[in-house]
Amino acid sequence: MDCREVTKMRIPFKERPDWADVKPVPQDDGPCPVVPIAYTEDFSETMDYFRAIYVADERSTRALQLTSEAIQLNPGNYTVWQFRRVVLAALGVDLHKELKFVDCIAGENTKNYQIWHHRRWLAEKLGADAVTNELEFTKKIFSQDAKNYHAWSHRQWVLQALGGWEEELAYCQQLLDDDIYNNSAWNQRYFVITRSPLLGGLVAMRELEVNYTVKTIRASPENESPWRYLRGLFKNDTQSLVQDSQVASVLLDVLTSQNSHVHALSFLLDLLCHGFEPSQELKSAVDVLTPQSCSPDLTLTKKICSILEHTDPMRVKYWNWRKSTVRVQSAQSQNADRLANLSMQG
C-alpha cells in the first residue's frame, strides 16, 4: 500500500458506508482537562475510530487501512504501529508491499523510532530476502544524513541477524573516500573488521588496517577519527601498540611537520604512560614544540602537557590535571597492562 494514497482527498469516516457499523470511541481526557490538546478534526475522528477497532480487536482490511491513515497523521504513535503488525500477521499481507509503505512514511521521518522498529520486524519476517533491500535503504538515508544513528543501528542489526557482509568493508571505504572526516563511517569500519565472520577478526586485520590508518593520519593529522581508530586496532593489546614501528613513525612525521600536533601529542602522552620508550628524534621533536617559558628540567610527559595547554586551550584544565597526575596515570596504566597480559596468558 502506497502511503500517498492516504493523502488524497479525505472522506470523513462517518460518511463512509463501510464504517457505518462502527461507533467511534472518543478520547477520555477526564472531566476537567488542564491543557487539552487542540487536535485537528481529521486527527480526532481518525483516532476515535481507531480506538473503536482497537478495543474490538478487529483484524480486517479496513482496520489496516485505518492504521495507514492514523500513521500518516502521526507516524510516532507506537500503539497504532503495534496494532498494524497484529493486523498484518492476521491477514497474511505481502510484507514486501508493506516495506514500500514504510519507505514512503520514512521519507520525511528518518529519525522516528517506531518506523525503524516496524522495519526491523518486517526484515525479521522476510529473512534473507530483505538483506539487499535493507542495506540499499540505509544507503539512501546516509546520502541525506551520513550520521543517522537509527539507520546505522538498523544496518548493523541487518548484517548481524541476516547477513550481507560481503561488500560492507568496501562500502565503508567508499564513504571514507567521499569524506575522510565521516566518524560514522570510521565506526562502521571498526564494526566490520571486528564482527564480520568473513575477515578473521581484529588481529588478522590489524596490519592492513594500521597501514591504511597511518596513511590517513599523515594526510590529515588534525582529523581525530583515524587516531581513535588506531587506538581501537590495539584494543586489549597495548603492548603491541607500544611496540608497533608504524605508530612511532607516524608520530614522528606529524610532530616534525607544520600540521596540527594536538592528536599526535595526546597519543604520544598515552603511549608514554603505557611504557613506550621514545627515540631521541621523538624527544627532539617535542623539545622543538615546547614553549620557551617551560623549565628545561621537565620530564617528557610534562613537556607534552605544557605544549597541549597552549595548543589546545579549550581543554587547558584537563591538560593541567594530566600534568599534575601523570606519574599516577603511568603506574595505573602499566599495572592494567600487566593484568591484561596475565589474563590473556591464562
Query: Annotated catalytic sites, by residue?
Result: 111
189: which residues sit within 8 A by CB, 6+ positions away?
169, 172, 173, 176, 229
Amino acid at the residue 232: G
Give the Cα separation of 24 and 48 in Å (integer): 5
Residue 120: C-alpha distances to residues 123, 162, 191 (Å):
5, 11, 19
| Phi and psi, residue 76, nearest 5° | -100, 5
Cα separation, 256 vs 252, whole angstroms = 6
How far is it, in rounded angstroms, from Cα 2 to Cα 276? Answer: 61
Spatial CB neighbours of 246, under 8 Å, sequence gap ≥ 6: 210, 211, 214
